[in-house]
């Protein structure tokens, strides 16, 4: 009852999954940076935006309930969504390592920004709900 009332919206679920993925991506980028001098190491990258987008847009194609007595379509379960992790196969340097430190640093900054933005957006959204509950005077 409480969870269907408060935690069933789609936006927080998508945001949560996005934050999960961003944290995972930060880990992957850190691994790349840490292995910047490892001979034969191939840089990994992660793509989750398109997966997230396709899952959340599928919702719009779902059946609509025409009667209030019908069971409304539930929001998609984002826990089963997985990101694509790819390894860059290029040769790169002479020792077989293809980590580009500049690119990795830029990606790390971008990931951090996306993560922070999602957190800020969610806490602002939470503040609205909180003020509805507490009737702040």
Partner 1 sequence: MSNLRIDSFKPLGAQFNLPKVNAQEASPNSFGKVMAESMKEVNELQAKADISIEELVSGKSKNIHETMINISKADLAFRMTLQIRNKAIEAYQEIMRSSI
Residues in the site for partner 1, rule: CB under 8 A?
Answer: 9-11, 14-15, 18-19, 49-50, 52-53, 56, 113-114, 117-118, 120-122, 124-125, 127-128, 131-132, 135-137
Nearest-approach distance from CB 45 to partner 1, in angstroms: 14
Nearest-approach distance from CB 56 to partner 1, in angstroms: 6
Angle between helices 101-134 and 10-34 (to 10 degrees): 150
Contact 22, 115 (CB under 8 A): yes
Residue number with CB closer to partner 1 (28 or 99):
28
Residue number with CB closer to partner 1 (81 or 99):
81
Q: In the chain, where do the E strands start and end?
A: 44-47, 84-87
Nearest-approach distance from CB 58 to partner 1, in angstroms: 12
Q: Which residues contact 45 (CB under 8 A, 6 or more apart)?
A: 28, 85, 86, 88, 107
Residue number with CB closer to partner 1 (97 or 111):
111
- If we measure between CA atoms, which residue out of 97, 110, 80, 118 comes closest to residue 31? 97
Residue number with CB closer to partner 1 (16 or 98):
16
């Amino acid at each position: 009852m409480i969870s269907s009332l408060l935690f069933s919206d789609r936006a927080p679920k998508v945001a949560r999954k996005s934050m999960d993925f961003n944290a995972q991506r930060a880990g992957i980028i850190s691994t790349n940076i840490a292995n910047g001098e490892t001979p034969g190491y191939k840089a990994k990258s992660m793509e989750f935006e398109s997966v997230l987008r396709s899952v959340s847009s599928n919702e719009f194609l779902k059946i609509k309930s025409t009667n209030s007595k019908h069971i409304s379509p539930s929001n998609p379960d984002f826990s089963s969504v997985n990101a694509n992790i790819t390894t860059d196969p290029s040769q790169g340097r002479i020792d077989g390592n293809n980590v580009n430190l500049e690119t990795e640093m830029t990606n790390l900054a971008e990931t951090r920004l996306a993560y922070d933005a999602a957190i800020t957006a969610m806490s602002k959204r939470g503040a609205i709900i909180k003020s509805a509950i507490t009737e702040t005077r």
